[in-house]
Chain A
Amino acid sequence: MKYLDEFRQPELARKLADEIRQTVTRPWTLMEVCGGQTHAFLRFGLESLLPPEIELVHGPGCPVCVTPLELIDKAIAIAARPEVIFCSFGDMLRVPGSGSDLFRVRAAGGDVRVVYSPLDCLALAQAHPDRQVVFFAIGFETTAPGNAMAVWQARQRGIANFSLLVSHVRVPPAITAILSAPGNRVQGFLAAGHVCTVMGYWEYEPLAERFHVPIVVTGFEPTDLLQGILQAVRQLERGQHVVENAYGRAVRREGNQPAQQLIAQVFEPCDRAWRGIGVIPDSGWRLRDEFAAFDAERRFDVGQIQTQESSICISGLVLQGRRKPTECPAFGTLCTPAHPLGATMVSSEGACAAYYRYGHLANALIDR
């Protein structure tokens, strides 16, 4: 397919890897922020092409993984109500809450549905005027414009039986938190390409300057990822720290203006708790007051939520790049994709699930 096959050519990937090997003179630790990139690295076996000096640590860019437990529990409580049709992207259904998950709600008779797009929920709401359609609006900046559009449309078209359970998160505050943490080892970032298609990359320039880290906007195909690493390593070797765009076919510095305008009309910044990490100031978006009527948290009173995390799971440390999935005692034994203890084992973008699925490659990396 055009725009995919050209960027998967093995000979170009090998040449890029050779170039990285020739450029690197000492150890460097890079973080790829996005779980989709973690998945692609492992899927295409790219880690095995890299020289031993380059260590990649996996970032918190998996929205399914970082959605706070309290909100999962709220989703479970709302989804169990008889008047509700609860809609979500598929990955969320298996994410463990304190005592249950959305799959179990469905098995017990709850109307829980997987949708492809939030606009599907509007059609559902119109088809079922006597029911309440709730969409679990999780995700990073990439997903926010679509969710904003759904709310905007609902208001325009007078679809009152639709609401969002919102848990939006933003990348730049997470990068700030990682770089400010004591003991941080990350020396350069691959910024998430699709987040940047929406937001651009001007927001990263003050971060590169303040923390003296190169940040390279990177795509998702093998040569994209290797090019991102090469540009970051070149900067590190030269002592530079600027923002570069290695995904020029999709990303402009200013981002997607219509998408940003839509987000700004519907959402406003807020502090947000990240599962396994804690509250990061200003790291989320919530519905503006003028859209409060579409806020599921205000529409449904679910009472006091008492959360209970697994005592074994180390997904918080995995999400911060401080532990590899295979360092968890439960990995692959007590915790598997069929019976996950933590969200990082659920999502296709979760580091634990990626290591489990592509285990032979991950083991080669750990043994190195």
Chain B
Amino acid sequence: MCLGIPGRVIDIVEQNGILMGRVDFGGVVKEACLAMTPEATVGDYVIVHAGFAISRLDEAAAEETLELLRAIDAQAAAEDEPQP
């Protein structure tokens, strides 16, 4: 129900006074309401829930998380090395 799918904004238009746009979900394009992510521009990724974008994805924060995960990986790998 609270399912949200990340997709890329491919255009933005104003319809009945609110921001709407098309969002590309890995090749499947759907219309979404962008009124709650007014900061999103074409090319940005947003999380869409039931036809509404509810969050613009922060690329730097995503990269930070992945860095953290890779660091665990590297740390664990170092611990797996036989000690001299």
Contact = CB atoms under 8 A, between A and B. Distances in A.
Q: Do A and B bind each other?
A: yes
Interface of A: 1-4, 6-7, 11-12, 15-16, 18-19, 34-36, 61-64, 89, 91, 116-120, 138-140, 142-143, 145-146, 149, 153, 156-157, 192, 194-195, 197-198, 220, 223, 227, 246, 248-251, 256, 258-259, 262, 347, 349
Contacts, number: 135
A152 to B, nearest CB: 9
Given A117-B52, A194-B3, A250-B55, 19 more contacts: A6-B62, A7-B65, A7-B66, A16-B69, A89-B50, A117-B33, A119-B33, A142-B1, A146-B33, A146-B52, A192-B2, A194-B54, A197-B4, A220-B4, A248-B58, A248-B64, A251-B55, A256-B55, A347-B1
B35 A258 contact: yes
Nearest to A15: B73
A194 B61 contact: no
A36 B2 contact: yes
Nearest to A145: B36
From A7, A142, A192, name the one whose CB has the most chain B CB atoms within 10 angstroms.
A142
19 contacts: A1-B6, A3-B57, A6-B62, A11-B73, A16-B69, A64-B1, A119-B33, A142-B49, A142-B54, A143-B49, A145-B54, A156-B17, A194-B4, A248-B61, A250-B57, A256-B55, A258-B35, A258-B36, A258-B37
Interface string B27-47: 000000101111000000101
A61 B35 contact: no
A36 B36 contact: no
Interface of B: 1-4, 6, 8, 16-18, 25-26, 33, 35-38, 45, 47, 49-52, 54-55, 57-59, 61-62, 64-66, 68-70, 72-73, 76
A116 B28 CA distance: 15
A62 B1 contact: yes
Nearest to B4: A194
Contacts of B57: 3, 249-250
Given A1-B25, A91-B1, A142-B2, A149 B33 contact: yes
B30 to A, nearest CB: 8
A172 to B, nearest CB: 15
Contacts of A61: 2
A16 to B, nearest CB: 7
Contact of A89 (B1, B33, B64): B1
A49 B45 CA distance: 31
A7 to B, nearest CB: 8
B72 A117 contact: no
A118 B50 contact: yes
Given A16-B69, A249-B65, A35 B1 contact: yes
A15 B33 CA distance: 38
B36 to A, nearest CB: 4
Nearest to B48: A117
B16 to A, nearest CB: 6
A118 B51 contact: yes
Among A1, A62, A157, residue most surrounded by chain B Cβ atoms (within 10 Å): A1
Nearest to A6: B66
A340 B18 CA distance: 40
A195 B1 CA distance: 11
A116 B51 contact: yes
Contact of A143 (B1, B36, B58, B65): B1
A122 B38 CA distance: 22
Contacts of B26: 1
